Structure 1
Amino acid sequence: MNEYLVPLTSACTLVTLNYIAMKVRSKMLFDSYEQFLAPLLTGLACIIMMLEPLPEALGLIDLRSLPVFMAGLRYGLPVALLSTVMPIGYSFISHESQSWFIILQDLLAPALISSLFHNKEYRRGFLDISIRHGLQICAYVFLLRLVIYGFLQGKLTWLYTIDQLFMLAIMSATFIIIIIMVNDENKSWRLQRQMELQANQDSLTKLPNLRSFMPIADNELNKRRISIMMIDLDNFKQYNDQFGHLEGDQLLREVSTVLQHHIQEQDYIARYGGEEFILLSTETDPLTLNLYGKRLCSVVTESFLHKRHYDQSPITVSIGISTAVAPQVNLTQIIYEADQALYASKHSGKNCSTLYEDIPVGNHKKNA
């Protein structure tokens, strides 16, 4: 009877190894090297299972297949096959009897079968791994072993079948526990990611908020010169007063979408507050920036020809632009200068863009 406790011990060991691997993954920068670390950790788990041989009566040598199940299901065939390299090497080094047969049955076949149920979302963590897929993998491997045994022996014995059913139950229960652990870890990761997104995203426009914009702009400014654009929706108070705050909110959402779709690919836009947006641009040439600002003004006007103020004036934006004179200057100063340029655009009749360097000194906004 004690021989039936051995696979339970191996199963507990494997669950513990999976828990350790998940904690290592969460504490380290695992994602960048997952293509290499996943096969490495899976291969090590297989070898540890190989060090815990099962009683011969159970018809299995060990539980080396189980780590490969998860590798194939979660990461696909390439990672699953890479995961078998270390245990295959260890099998030959340890002079395991019937090495090629065991490798095909307990490593390569499980890698192929489990990868048939792979979903790319399993790897990214955005989708819970299906327990049904896990049970199907265990069932197919179980049937494969019965077929192989029947082919080699000429017939199946009841004792062998019962022992295989017992091992199927152990393998299935262990694999389900591992899947549940991985899914719980992924749920925690998705919840944390959602909370981070909500903290860094403007709830109305779904653009990044100023809190997330500042460190990104600071980091970019430490590496190179940048430009900042302050973009303000003209006459927004009057629009709110005429059509109501719900319509005003809808207009802000639509303007943010238009701006997001028409800025340069490498640029970064966020909601500054109220009806203002702030844009980080890697462009520093004054002529190009001026054309860029004018193009955004035109795009907004053309996109909202169907919407008008009470006096039939179009929906427009005003833009102020400032460029850092050198890397690592004060970001707050650049934003202040862009705000000064925005004030000049407003003073010039709105629906235009102004470079800070083009503003006469006497026209600077007071106490901005």
Structure 2
Amino acid sequence: MNEYLVPLTSACTLITLNYVAMKVRSKMLADSFEQLLAPLLTGLACIIMMLEPLPEPLGLIDLRSLPIFMAGLRYGLPIALLSTVLPMGFGFISHESHVWFNIAQDLLAPALISSLFHNKEYQSGFLDIPIRHGLQICTYVFLMRLLIHGLFISGLSWLYMGDQLFMLAIISATFITVIMMVNDENKSWRMQRQMELQANQDNLTKLPNLRSFMPIASSALLKRKMSIMMIDLDNFKQYNDLFGHLEGDQLLREISHVLRHHIHEEDYLARYGGEEFILLCTESDPVRLGLYAQRLCFLAAEAFQDKNQSIAAPITISIGISTAESTQSELTQLIYEADQALYESKHQGKNRYTHYTEIQALNQKMNA
């Protein structure tokens, strides 16, 4: 009876190893090295299982296949096959009997079978691994071993069948436990990601908020000259007072949609607050910036053309622009300058843009 405790011990060891591997992956933030780390850890787990041989009189196999199951299911065939390299080498070095047969049956075949159930979303963690896939993989491998033993070894005996059913139960329970651990880890990761997204996202417009904008913009300014556009929705208060807050909120959603879909791909848009938006722009040439801002003003006015026919104060946007003189420019100063330029656009009649350099030139002319 004690010999049946050996696979139970191996199963507990494997579950512990899986827990350690998940923690290593999360603590090291090893996503960029996962293609290398996954087969390495899987191969080492296989070798540890090979170091705990199961009682030969029972005709039981060891659990080296189980880590391969997870590699194939979660990462696909290439990673699963790569995971077999270390246990293959260990089998040859340790002069394992029937090494080629064991490689084919306990490493390569499980890699192929488990990879048939692979989904790329399992690796990313956005999709939980179904328990039924684990049961299917274990069942198919079990049937394969029965077929091989019956056809090529010594036929099937009731004793052998009982031992294999016992091992099927152990392998299935262990694999399901591992899958549940991985799914729980993925759920925690998704929850954390969602909380981070909510903390950095404006709930109304679904744009990034100012909290997330500031560090990204500061980092970008250290690398190259950038521009800041302050964008304000004209006559929003009148519209809000006339139609109510719900319609006002919908208007903010609509203008954020227009801006999001017409800014340059490499630019970064966020909600500054109220009816104001802030745009980090990679363009620094004044002429091209002017054309860019003018185009956004035109598109916004066109988007609200139907609304503007029925209201006295048209819905448009005004823009203020400031450009960094060097990579040493302060983000807060640029935002202040763009805000001053925005105020000038409002003062000059709205639905237009103003560059802060125009204000500087006007001030210099007045002082002269």
TM range (shorter): over 0.9
Partner AA of 1:68 in structure 2: I
Contact 1:309 1:315 in 2 (8 A): no
> Any residues of structure 2 matched to 1:147-158 within 5 Å, and which?
147-153=147-153, 155-158=155-158
Query: TM-score, normalising length from structure 2?
Result: 0.97
Counterpart in the other structure of 1:245: 245
Q: Alignment partner of 1:322: what SS?
A: strand
Instruction: Determine if the alignment matches structure 1 residue 191 to structure 2 residue 191.
Output: yes
Shift of 1:120: 1.1
1:21-78 residue CA offsets vs partner (Å, 9 max, x unmatched): 0000110121111111111110110011111100013323410000000000111111
CA contact (8 A) 1:239 1:309 kept: no
Deviates further, 296-305 or 107-116: 296-305
**Residue equivalent to 2:66:** 66
Please show how residues 290-305 of structure 1 align to structure 2 within 5 Å.
290-305=290-305
Equivalent position of 1:211 in the other structure = 211
Question: What is the rounded CA distance, in whole Å, between the counterparts of 1:284 and 1:333 in structure 2?
Answer: 16
Aligned pairs for 1:272-311 (under 5 A) are 272-308=272-308, 311=311
Q: How does 1:82-101 map to 2 (within 5 A)?
A: 82-101=82-101
Deviations 1:224-269 (A, max 9, x none): 1110000000000000011111000000001001100000000000
Does the 8 Å CA contact 1:242/1:310 hold for their aligned counterparts? no
C-alpha distance in structure 1 between counterparts of 2:57 and 2:256, whole Å: 69
2:235–2:313 contact (8 Å) kept in structure 1: no
Aligned equivalent of 1:53: 53
Say whether the 8 Å CA contact 1:226–1:324 is kept in structure 2.
yes
After superposition, the C-alpha distances for 1:258-299 in whole angstroms (9 at most, x for unaligned) are 100000000000000000000001111111111100010011
> What one-letter code is carried by the residue in structure 1 that aligns with 2:244?
G
- Kept in 2: contact 1:221–1:329 (CA 8 A): yes
Unaligned runs of 5+ in 1: none
2:11 counterpart of 1:11: yes
Whether the aligned pair in 1 keeps the contact of 2:234 and 2:314 (CA below 8 Å) is: no
Structure 2: any 5+ residue segments left out of the alignment? none
Residues 113-141 of structure 1: per-residue CA shift (max 9 Å, x gap): 00111111111101111100000000000
**Partner amino acid for 1:198?**
Q
How many residues align? The count is 364
State the 4+ residue runs in structure 1 displaced beyond 3 angstroms: 309-314, 360-364
Which digits, 9 at most, give the CA deviation of each residue in 1:283-331, with x for residues without a partner? 1111111110001001111112121275444321000000011103211
Superposed CA RMSD? 1.3
Q: Secondary structure at the match of 2:342?
A: helix
**Is the aligned partner of 1:262 residue 2:262?**
yes
- 1: CA distance between counterparts of 2:227 and 2:125? 37
The answer for the alignment partner of 2:358 in structure 1 is 358
- With structure 1 as the length reference, what TM-score do the two structures score? 0.97
